[in-house]
Amino acid sequence: MDKHVIVGGKVLNGEVKISGAKNSALPILVACLLSEEPISIANIPHLQDVTTIMELLGRMGSHLTIKDHMIIEVDTSKVTDCVAPYELVRTMRASILVLGPLLARFNQAKVALPGGCAIGSRPVDLHVQGMCRLGAEIEMREGYIYASAPQGLRGAEIYFEKVTVTGTENLMMAAALARGTTILNNAALEPEVVDLANFLNSMGARIEGAGTSRIEIEGVEKLSGCHYSVIPDRIETATYLVAGAITGGRVTVKNTDPRLLPSVLEKLEATGASLDIKPRSITLDMRGNRPKAVDIDTRPFPGFPTDLQAQFMALNTIAEGTAVICEHIFENRFMHAEELRRMGADIRVQGNQAVCHGVNHLTGAPVRATDLRASASLVLAGLVAHGETIVDRIYHIDRGYECIEEKLSQLGADIHRIVQKKTSSK
């Protein structure tokens, strides 16, 4: 497995271009299954998860063409296979999103129960219950979801017992072609949900209320092709801003959207950073100062994102003061704390709380990534640690960060990738 080798102590300065949002690109690519006409999507990030979704669509019979600047053309007119096999689905939970479009267009689907990062329970129950409300018949056996809708899907009013981003997206896609009107109550407010709704509306869907807790979808008979550009990745944006803050540097992120990060920018200012916010860029300047510790309380959007909890924990390990981090989204998302302790961090975890006492410095060490965002936190810690840090199992980080070592190197970081050659057995 590939590793990142980082020699810490470099102050980061410069500009970095933000890629398209992974968490928008995946459902938007999947939503192409809803139309028989060709679709062109721009600002797609070059990530392992994107590659997996593309392979899944191709396995079903879609024709995909990659053009310059990662513009992807998708033609699903020849799709005949409504199966999402385990060997692909096991690597990422977002693959459950094919369930809604397949049911809506083909009235059937066979989807393996998904895998992905081991950060706690993310059941598919809400997806299944919602599809049943739309008239689907579902059976779960042998690790697969078998779904059918012989009479097609029909609109219904659905209440989510728990806010679910992928559940909202899955039901929104299914309802786009259902007969009648569907209302999703307690829907997720995340910008990626809004981006998917805007994409579907560009195809001719009739969706109102995305970005609020009540989304209304009036089903249409068919969806057309379109050209669409994915929003910038707010998690990648914040990760590079934290990289600037943790090293005391000055970092500008370009091609981003500050409106996607209200709670995060507030926390960055609380660290003592100076922010220059423009419509398409954000500049963070620490002026060489040590950041101040900030308390974090993860919540659904517009609250602080759980996908940035690990990065801010890394910052708090060397910050001035003590901070309390409360994780309310996933019950098993502090696995990076133990790895940070290997580098000298003073972190005490109790249940869904982690108390971080800032230390004067971290020390480089061999560490192991346990999930996507945890791997980012270990890279950030390595940037500021004394000596050399080796981050193992970085296939996690490749799922969500495009060319992270190249982008950090542009900012002055001493980081490179060791590629492990695969050995063939005789």
- Say what angle helices 22-31 and 165-176 make with each other, to 10 degrees: 20
**Which CA distances in Å does 89 have to 65, 96, 381?**
22, 8, 31
Catalytic residue flag (residue 326): no
User: Taken in order 188, 192, 196, 199, is the CA torsion positive or negative?
Assistant: positive
* CA–CA gap between residue 308 and residue 298 (Å, rounded): 9
Work out whether strand 71-75 and strand 39-42 pair parallel, antiparallel, or are unpaired.
Answer: antiparallel
Residue with tokens 């993310």: 122
- Choose, from 32, 82, 117, 356, the residue flagged as catalytic: 117
**Which residues are known to be catalytic?**
117
